[in-house]
Amino acid sequence: MIVDSHCHLDFPDFDGELPDIIARARSAGVTRMVTICTRLRHEPRVRAIAEAYEGVYYAAGTHPMSAAEEPMVTVAELVALARHPKFVAIGETGLDYHYTAQSAEVQATSLRLHIEAAQETGLPLIIHARAADKDMARILADGMAIRPYSCVMHCFSSGAALAQAALDMGFYLSMSGIATFPKSSELRTIFSAAPISRVLLETDSPYLAPMPHRGKRNEPAYTAFTAKTGAQIFGVSEAEFAAITSANFDRLFPKAAPAQSA
C-alpha cells in the first residue's frame, strides 16, 4: 500500500488517459494519491478529478513560480476551499529562486498567506523550495513562532541545513524520483539522516520520473520505484517502507486517512 503524496493529474500530459493512469497506479500498489492545483483558477478541474476517483484527493495553492502572474491568493479563499471533504492540504507554495528570483518578494508574500491558511484550517502545508534555503527556513520558522502548523517539504532536493531546520520544526520530507538518480548520493545521505517516521513518497508526475524511467513522462505508478530506493536507504524491506511512509502520510494528511475516508 503506497501513497503518492504529490502529483499533477490535471496537467495536459495525462489528457484522455486518466482512467488508465489510475488503474496502473493501483496495479503497482499505489492506492492513494494527492493531485495538486498550482493556480487557483484551475481548482475546479483539479477538484473534479478528486471527486471522480476513489483514493484521489487534492490540494490547491499558488505555485511560487506563478506567484507574480496570478492574482494574490487570500486566506479566505483557501479556507473556503478547505471545506471540501477531499481537499487535504494547502499548496503547493514556497520559494523558487532558480527560475524566478526576480519575484522573490511576491513569492514571500504569497507563502506567508498560505502559512496563515494552514494555521487557520489545521491542514498541512505543501512546500516547494528551490535555491532559496535560507529565506525558506526563516519564513517557515517565523510562521511557526506565531502559531504551530504542519508541513511537508515536497520533492525535497535542497541542502542538509534546510532539511534539519524542517525536521526540527516537526515537518516531513518527501522523497521523489530524484533520490533514485545515480548522482543523487548527497540527497540519499540527507534522507538517511532523517527519522524514517518523517519521510513521505511522491512522484511530482508528470515530472522527475525515477530510474529506470528517467527522462520519460512520470506517473503515480512509478512511486513504487522510489519506494524501492527508499527501502534501500533505510535498510528495510520494500513492504515495510511502504507501510511506514503510508502511516506517515496518514498522520500528516488525516483527511485522506483510510478511516476518515471510510
What's the pLDDT score for residue 262? Answer: 45
pLDDT digits (tens, 9 = 90+) for 26-45: 999 999 999 999 999 999 99
Q: Buried b / exposed e across 54-69, counting CB within 10 Å, b at 16+?
A: ebbbbbbbbbbbbbbe
Backbone angles phi, psi at 91, to 5 degrees: 130, 180
* CATH number for the domain harbouring residue 257: 3.20.20.140
CA 12 – CA 202 distance, rounded (Å): 19
Contact 220, 30 (CB under 8 A): yes
Q: In what helix (H) or strand (E) does residue 173 lie, and over which residues does it extend?
A: strand 172-175
CA 123 – CA 221 distance, rounded (Å): 26
Which whole number is the average pLDDT over 7-14? 97
pLDDT for residue 261 is more than 70: no
Query: pTM to 2 decimals?
Result: 0.96
Average pLDDT value over all residues in the chain: 97
Give the range of the structural domain holding residue 178, as residue numbers without chain letter.
Answer: 2-261
Which whole number is the average pLDDT over 123-132? 98
CA dihedral of residues 216, 94, 78, 30 (deg, nearest 10): 30
What's the pLDDT score for residue 259? Answer: 65
Which whole number is the average pLDDT over 125-147? 98
Amino acid at 84: H
Cite the DSSP H helix spans in 58-101: 75-81, 97-100
Which whole number is the average pLDDT over 115-140? 98
Percent of the chain with pLDDT over 70: 98
pLDDT for residue 83 is more than 80: yes
Which whole number is the average pLDDT over 79-104? 97
What's the pLDDT score for residue 145? Answer: 98
Which whole number is the average pLDDT over 126-138? 98
Tally of domains within the chain: 1
